Amino acid sequence: MSVITIVGAGMMGSAMSIPARDNGHTVRIVGTPLDREIIDHARRYRQHLTMKRPLPENITYFQIEDLDLALDAADVVIGGVSSFGVDWFIETVIPRIPEGMPLLSVTKGLIDREDGTLISFPAYYKQKSNRQLSFCAIGGPCTSYELADRRHSAVAFCGDDPAVLLRLRQMLETDYYHISLSTDVTGVECAVAMKNAYALGVTLAVGMVEKEEGVGCTLAYNPQAALFGQSVREMSALLQYIGGGAENIVYGAGDLYVTVFGGRTRKLGTLLGRGMTFSEAMAELSGVTLESVAITRRLIRAVNRAVALGKLEAGQFPLLMHIGDLLEEKPTKGIPFAAFETTVFERR
Amino acid sequence: MSVITIVGAGMMGSAMSIPARDNGHTVRIVGTPLDREIIDHARRYRQHLTMKRPLPENITYFQIEDLDLALDAADVVIGGVSSFGVDWFIETVIPRIPEGMPLLSVTKGLIDREDGTLISFPAYYKQKSNRQLSFCAIGGPCTSYELADRRHSAVAFCGDDPAVLLRLRQMLETDYYHISLSTDVTGVECAVAMKNAYALGVTLAVGMVEKEEGVGCTLAYNPQAALFGQSVREMSALLQYIGGGAENIVYGAGDLYVTVFGGRTRKLGTLLGRGMTFSEAMAELSGVTLESVAITRRLIRAVNRAVALGKLEAGQFPLLMHIGDLLEEKPTKGIPFAAFETTVFERR
């Protein structure tokens, strides 16, 4: 049995305690400065405050001041911050991870650079922290609620070191938590980050139909499917651009599927689809932090830079560009369905 | 303006009259021997009997005896039969299509051959009829109901002759019916045929959760997303096997998305997921003709033959093989989620 320390007591980080405890590991959860109440609540009620799910027995909870204690003699650290916490994590947590201890991050997102390229969080961690830890990450379609409910979930662990990945899989795999492995960190991580933008894209069609027929109407699926197909097309082109393997579209498509069905990203896409401006929609979603919007903005910024530098053609990404216009509150003529048409005239 | 003759008055064939009439073409609809009532009803009430949608004004309806009259001086024939009507169509309709008149078929499916290969209906038409017509087909995510409701729908017209495809697009494209073009007939047609099998696969997870929680429960999406991702993986491998372009996964994924949301295939997948045997599920769906099952059986037969001939590895298709076991009522250990795990250890 191993000792697993989860740093960041958000929903996804905390949900990782469930396969970890089911496999009999010692689990420690450390809250960030934003998680104080979650930690207090979990200690007292053995329940996650925001996820509203029971947490396994025999977890030790720590506030951030006791980080070193929680990391002592651990076998692996699971990074449980959201993408908003990444810089804090690099400054505060990574320097204190003991040499040789792998980090497995649940954080989804990517970083755009001045030259129009995109890098994954593991690559960013390595670069910024200047440490030689084994930086691994989890991608794939897995919501925290359903992992906590022990629903069958298929994810990918990615990292540079096959031996570390095999060990992490052995540690965390259960009969409901299914783990693929990949050393293509860029491919896996960028595929699953992109789905944030495209989940906004697909759900525009929900709002569009509601606008015509009234909220509560029978939804139409042809328009959603047109957007889903176009999302797969644009995500595949972006995967190729960033140098990720084509097979990672499996994670992009699966994660897009699960994201379309619920949560805040669907809500925002639906409101934009009804014709609200971005500010109106954000007012309606008051107080809700939208990680998906931040990730979408980064992706669009990177694509715009790559277009300016002649590395990509804007015309390849009509849906992403449309989402960008909506976020910038530029006037649009609606979802550019006609721009999705392709012509493939080649003899095979 | 052109003259468009639709042969086969099923829902999809008839729905094609809507973009055709919106573009001002002369439209003739010919019923098959199974469509007599549909034709009588449409003549009398200007409504489609089974689709329960109004049909456009100024369509001329024909019973099958007047096929030659309906084909006279037409610019294009739209083939509107289901895959069960394909042999009838080859024997009865194709020989009577005047030389030089293109055929655009809405029929989705594929034909499996003794050597484990799969061919598209346009290829089958050409082979069996021994005629040199321009055989084209429509693929992509488009349900007839929603086309009849003029929802945005993105489809692909495929065929051998770019000039014919361009003409057909010009004829039928509207501000809601968006048409991509491809000369990769095998790729487009097989991508959209495969979704029948995989829509059964994805919806197994709906029934699986209902079995645990009771019908009417909140659905879980992690398991569906795991199956959706695996479907994309297997469909991509099958596309490669049949020699279709990888880009056609866009149609496969989009069509899978729309098929998962409704209709008889979802119902069957859900019942099987709940643990019913195939016979029990078919009894529950009494009287319903399931084209998707016929197509799925063909696909599985082809893959089994290809495996036997050493052209494919069975291990690449755990979901398809599981669906095959369910249709054959073989004992299974449930959805083989663990078999979906992949390991990609390559440096890029």
pLDDT in tens, A305-332: 999 999 999 899 999 999 999 999 999 9
- Write out chain B residues lying below 8 Å of A146, CB-based: 220-223
Chosen from A136, A142, A152, A190 to mutate, greatest number of chain B CBs within 10 A:
A152
Chain A contact set for B258 (CB, 8 A): 221-222, 224-225
Would you call A140 and B343 a contact, using CB atoms and an 8 Å cutoff? no
How many angstroms separate the CA of residue A16 from the nearest CA in chain B?
A: 15
Average pLDDT of the segment spanning A121-130: 95
Give the nearest partner residue to A226 out of B153, B230, B341, using CB atoms.
Answer: B153
Find the CB nearest B180 among A149, A335, A342: A342
Of A152, A209, A233, the CB nearest to B222: A152
Indicate whether B287 pLDDT > 70: no
**pLDDT of residue A348 exceeding 60:** no
B-chain CB neighbours of A266 within 8 Å are none
Beta strands in A67-226 (DSSP E): 76-79, 103-105, 110-112, 118-120, 135-139, 153-158, 177-182
B107, B137 contact by CB (below 8 A): yes
Instruction: Please name the member of A147, A225, A253 whose beta carbon is closest to the beta carbon of B229.
Output: A253
Position A263 scores a pLDDT of: 82
ipTM value of the model? 0.96
A258 chain-B contacts, CB cut-off 8 A: 221-222, 224-225
Q: What phi and psi, each to the nearest 5 degrees, are found at residue A154?
A: -110, 115
Q: Which ranges in chain B belong to alpha helices (H)?
A: 11-15, 17-22, 36-45, 67-71, 86-88, 121-129, 144-148, 162-172, 185-213, 222-242, 249-260, 263-274, 278-284, 291-308, 318-327
Query: How many other C-beta atoms are found inside a 10 Å radius of the C-beta of residue B114?
Result: 7
Name every chain A residue with its beta carbon within 8 A of the beta carbon of B181.
341-345
Position B190: which residue type?
C
Chain B: residue nearest A226 by CA?
B154
Q: Which two tokens stand for residue B179?
A: 């048409």
Residues in B touching A149 (Cβ below 8 Å): 220
Task: Among A16, A222, A259, A346, pick the best mutation site for testing chain B contact (most B Cβ within 10 A).
Answer: A222
Q: What is the model's pLDDT at position B280?
A: 95
Q: How many CB pairs under 8 A join A and B?
A: 221
pLDDT of residue B347: 57
Contact B6, B71 (CB under 8 A): no
Q: Return mean pLDDT, chain A.
A: 95
pLDDT digits (tens, 9 = 90+) for A16-26: 999 999 999 99
The single-letter DSSP state of residue A220 is P
Given strand A103-105, what is the order of strands in its sheet?
Answer: A59-62, A26-30, A3-7, A76-79, A103-105, A135-139, A153-158, A177-182, B343-344
Minimal CA separation from B249 to chain A, in Å? 8
Closest CA to B291 of B224, B207, B153, B195: B195
Chain B residues in contact with A52 by the CB 8 A cut-off are: none
Chain A residues within 8 A of B201 when measuring between CB atoms: none
Q: List Cβ neighbours of B90 (8 Å cut-off, separation of 6 or more).
A: B124, B125, B128, B129
With CB atoms and an 8 Å threshold, state whether A141 touches B222. yes
Per-residue confidence band for B286, with pLDDT thresholds at 50, 70 and 90: confident
Name the token pair of B90. Answer: 């080859």
The maximal CA–CA distance of chain B, rounded, in angstroms, is 67
Nearest in space to B97 (alpha carbons), one of B193, B204, B213, B6? B6
Look up residue B275 and give its two tokens: 């643990």
Confidence of residue B317 (pLDDT cuts 50, 70, 90): very high
- Residues of chain B with Cβ-Cβ distance to A123 below 8 Å are none
Taking a C-beta distance cutoff of 8 angstroms, is the pair B165, B234 a contact? Answer: no
Q: Using the beta-carbon criterion (under 8 Å), do B141 and A225 form an inter-chain contact?
A: yes
State the average pLDDT over residues A131-154.
96
Evaluate if residue A250 carries a pLDDT over 80: yes
Q: Tell me the mean pLDDT in the region B282-290.
A: 82
| For residue A288, pLDDT beyond 80 | no
CA–CA min distance A195, chain B (Å): 13
Q: Band the pLDDT of A347: cuts 50, 70, 90.
A: low
- Asked if B183's CB is within 8 angstroms of A226's CB, the reply is no
Percent of chain A past pLDDT 90, that is, above it, reads: 93
Give the whole-angstrom CA distance, residue B112 versus residue B117.
6
Quick one: pLDDT at residue A146? 96
Residues of chain A with C-beta less than 8 angstroms from the C-beta of B266: none
Confidence check: pLDDT of B291 > 90: no
CB contact under 8 A, A338 and B250: no
What is the rounded CA–CA span in Å between residue A184 and residue A252?
Answer: 14
Cross-chain residue pair A347–B183, CB shorter than 8 Å: yes
Query: Do A229 and B253 make contact, defined as CB atoms within 8 angstroms?
Result: yes
Amino acid at site A15: A
Interchain contact, B246 vs A246, CB within 8 Å: yes
How sure is the predictor about B263, in pLDDT bands with cuts at 50, 70 and 90?
confident
Question: Residues B244, B188: contact at Cβ < 8 Å?
Answer: yes
C-beta of residue A172 within 8 angstroms of C-beta of residue A15: no
Instruction: Give the residue-averaged pLDDT of B55-74.
Output: 98
Which pairing describes strands A153-158 and A135-139: parallel, antiparallel, or unpaired?
Answer: antiparallel
pLDDT at A286: 82
Question: In 10 A of CB B45, how many CB atoms?
Answer: 11
Do the Cβ atoms of B179 and A205 come within 8 Å?
no
Residue A287 has pLDDT above 90, yes or no: no
The gap from C-alpha B311 to its chain's centroid, in whole angstroms, comes to 25
CB A9 within 8 A of CB A31: yes
Longest dimension (CA), chain A: 67
Confidence of residue A346 (pLDDT cuts 50, 70, 90): confident
Average pLDDT rounded to a whole number, residues A179-197 = 95
| A227: nearest CA partner in chain B | B254
On chain B, the residues whose CB falls within 8 A of the CB of A11 are none
Alpha-carbon distance A179 to nearest alpha carbon in chain B (angstroms): 6
Q: Mean per-residue pLDDT for A156-175?
A: 98
The average pLDDT across A240-255 equals 95
Residue of A nearest to B212 (CA): A151
**Helices A249-260 & A185-213 angle (0-180, nearest 10):** 30
B342 Cα to chain A: minimum distance (Å): 5
Average pLDDT over every residue of A240-260: 95
